[in-house]
Amino acid sequence: MHKNRPVVWITGASSGIGEALAEQYARQQARLVLSARSVDKLEALATRLDCESLVLPMDVTDFGSFAGKVEAVLAHFGQIDILINNAGVSQRGWAEACGFAVDQRLMDVNFFGPVALSRAVLPHMRARKQGVIAVTSSVMGKVQTPRRTAYAASKHAIQGWFDCLRCEVWKDGIQVTLLLPGYVHTHLSYHALDADGQPHGKMDRIQANGMPAERCARKMIRAIEKGKEEVIIAGLQERLAAWLKRFTPRLYSAIAKRIPVE
Residues that bind ligand NDP (CB under 6 A): 11-12, 14-18, 36-38, 59-61, 86-90, 109, 136, 138, 181, 183-184, 186-188, 191, 207, 210
Select from 182, 137, 143, 181 the least CA-distant residue to 159: 137
Return the number of the residue (127 or 242) whose C-beta is nearest ligand NDP. Answer: 242
Of 60 and 132, CB closest to ligand NDP: 60
What's the closest the beta carbon of residue 16 comes to ligand NDP, in angstroms?
2
> What is the nearest approach in angstroms of ligand NDP to the Cβ of residue 8?
15
Q: How far is the CB of 187 from ligand NDP (least distance, A)?
A: 4
Q: How far is CA 131 from the centre of its chain?
A: 17
Beta strands 53-55 and 174-181 are: unpaired
d(CA 251, CA 244): 7
What residue type is assigned to position 90 of the chain?
S
Q: How far apart are CA 245 and CA 190, in angstroms?
A: 28
Q: Which of 126/187 has CB closer to ligand NDP?
A: 187
Q: Which helix (H) or strand (E) holds 83?
A: strand 82-85
What is the C-alpha separation between 120 and 114, in angstroms, rounded?
Answer: 10
| Closer by beta carbon to ligand NDP, 165 or else 216 | 216
Q: Say which of 25, 151, 183, 252 is annotated catalytic.
A: 151
Active site residue 25: no
Q: How far is the CB of 6 from ligand NDP (least distance, A)?
A: 21
Catalytic sites, residue numbers? 151
